[in-house]
Amino acid sequence: MGPKTLMYPMPAVLVGSSVGGKPNYMVAAWCSIACMVPPMVSVALNKARHTLKGIYENKAFSVNIPSTGQVVEADYCGITAGASVDKSKVFESFYGKLRTAPMARECPVSLECKLFNTMDCGSHVLVVGEIVETYVEREALAGNLPDIKKVDPLIYSDGRYYRVGEYVADAFSAGKAYKKRR
Amino acid sequence: MGPKTLMYPMPAVLVGSSVGGKPNYMVAAWCSIACMVPPMVSVALNKARHTLKGIYENKAFSVNIPSTGQVVEADYCGITAGASVDKSKVFESFYGKLRTAPMARECPVSLECKLFNTMDCGSHVLVVGEIVETYVEREALAGNLPDIKKVDPLIYSDGRYYRVGEYVADAFSAGKAYKKRR
């Protein structure tokens, strides 16, 4: 098919940054965990992004996971550019220990990140941040960790949003059936 | 909650590499697209991984998206270490132009990657590869692109696999409702 940027599933996260002292949020699907110790997150950002200015300025940003109930607000942050539209009131922003990484109170999960490093890949910069704090809405928890069905995150794929569907199998367990077959 | 590696949703991909001349596959959830031009993919790998040896050796690897129908084989690759178990027969491997990036024929989507760069993050190395070719099963296509519902990928979260659920909204469209409200 030629080289294509295919990945299934991808999240739809809101990257929060403070640009010129104002909170700003953009939607990103190219976001993932980058390291366990210390905990880190990576997000690929187009070099033209307003968000990137804020990240370089403050060496801080946030990754917020919206729920399907925030699809209108999240998508609004995807179809508008922070350079021309003030998105500071789309979410109620709160701040943590870094003080310059705005987080969206409406989102069930927020990661507060300190810029660790960047990698220039071409059209995009891979921004890697150390997660200094995690904020989870009480209703999204099942015991000590969030439950993905309660978080009810958006899945982004080819111009559409989907929700997480049914349980398939237990990890680190389903594969035992293969072992026995051999 | 303290810093935690939370991300929703995450994929369950199979990273293919040739280690000592043998195809090997491991499961990874910390995988994402890293760049559009040129197309690139990133995956965070624990430094102890057998897979990493093959990537450094060949400067090549693959990212394969299993379908829910491959959950047993995929999870088997997650609970076994390539250093002690020969996983070369779990999937039927095929090779593309790089010749040293084994891909799993059973997976509906495979990305063939040339190592571009790495970033040492601590316990994990962020491996970034340029996608040189993409292979998609005909049945997973809807027009020119794969359809996520036909790919039927695995979602990994907190020890469980889920499938993609129902359609929520159109991206670059749902947000217009917010605009009109203002």
**A72-90 pLDDT per residue, tens:** 999 999 999 988 899 999 9
| Owning domain of residue B126 | 10-181
Interchain CB distance below 8 Å, A4 and B169:
no
Instruction: Report if residue B1 sits inside a domain.
Output: no
Phi-psi bin for B158: left (phi > 0), alpha (psi -120 to 50), beta? left
**B2-48 pLDDT per residue, tens:** 999 999 999 999 999 999 999 999 999 999 999 999 999 999 999 99
Instruction: Report if residue B14 sits inside a domain.
Output: yes
Interchain CB distance below 8 Å, B75 and A35:
no
Residue B181 has pLDDT above 70, yes or no: no
Residue A180 has pLDDT above 70, yes or no: no
Instruction: Report if residue A91 sits inside a domain.
Output: yes
Burial class (CB in 10 A: 0-12, 13-18, 19+), B144: exposed
| Set of chain A residues whose Cβ sits within 8 Å of the Cβ of B68 | 168
Tokens standing for B151? 């790919």
Q: Please, which residues bridge with residue B120 across strands? A: B125
| Set of chain A residues whose Cβ sits within 8 Å of the Cβ of B127 | none
**Where do we find the tokens 């367990």?**
A173
3-class SS of residue B78: helix
Instruction: Report if residue B3 sits inside a domain.
Output: no
CA distance A6 to B131: 10
Determine the average pLDDT of the residues in A119-145: 97
**A21-44 pLDDT per residue, tens:** 999 999 999 999 999 999 999 999
Q: A143 touching B, CB under 8 A?
A: no
Confidence at A179, pLDDT banded by 50, 70, 90: confident
Residue B56 has pLDDT above 60, yes or no: yes
Interchain CB distance below 8 Å, B162 and A148:
yes
Confidence at B82, pLDDT banded by 50, 70, 90: confident
In single-letter form, the type of residue at position A126 comes to: L
Interchain CB distance below 8 Å, A33 and B37:
no
For strands B109-120 and B31-35, give the pairing. unpaired
Q: How far is CA A102 from the centre of its chain?
A: 13
Confidence at A52, pLDDT banded by 50, 70, 90: very high
pLDDT score of A181? 54
Phi-psi bin for B36: left (phi > 0), alpha (psi -120 to 50), beta? alpha
Number of domains in chain B: 1
CA distance A28 to A78: 8
Exposure of B87 in the CB half-sphere (CA atoms within 13 A): 30
Contact A153, A11 (CB under 8 A): yes
Q: Using alpha carbons, select from B7, B25, B22, B159 the residue that is nearest to residue A178.
A: B25
User: Tell me, what CATH number does B61's domain have?
Assistant: 2.30.110.10
Number of Cβ within 10 Å of residue A89's Cβ equals 10
Instruction: Report if residue A3 sits inside a domain.
Output: no
Handedness of CA A36, A153, B155, B63 (dihedral sign): negative
Q: By percentage, how much of chain B surpasses pLDDT 70?
A: 98
DSSP track, B96-128: -TTSS--EETTSSEEEEEEEEEEEE-SSEEEEE
Instruction: Report if residue A149 sits inside a domain.
Output: yes
CA distance B102 to B63: 9
Instruction: Report if residue B144 sits inside a domain.
Output: yes
Instruction: Report if residue A4 sits inside a domain.
Output: no
Q: Which of A1, A157, A174 sits opposite B148 (nearest CB)?
A: A157
The chain A residue lying nearest B64, using CA atoms, is: A7
CA distance A167 to B162: 4
Q: By percentage, how much of chain B surpasses pLDDT 90?
A: 95
Interchain CB distance below 8 Å, A160 and B169:
yes
Residue B182 has pLDDT above 60, yes or no: no
**B133-146 pLDDT per residue, tens:** 999 999 999 999 99
DSSP track, B1-55: --S----SSEE-EEEEEEETTEEEEEEES-EEEEETTTTEEEEEEETT-HHHHHH
Contact A11, B8 (CB under 8 A): yes
Q: B146 touching A, CB under 8 A?
A: yes
In the 8-state DSSP scheme, what is residue B165? E
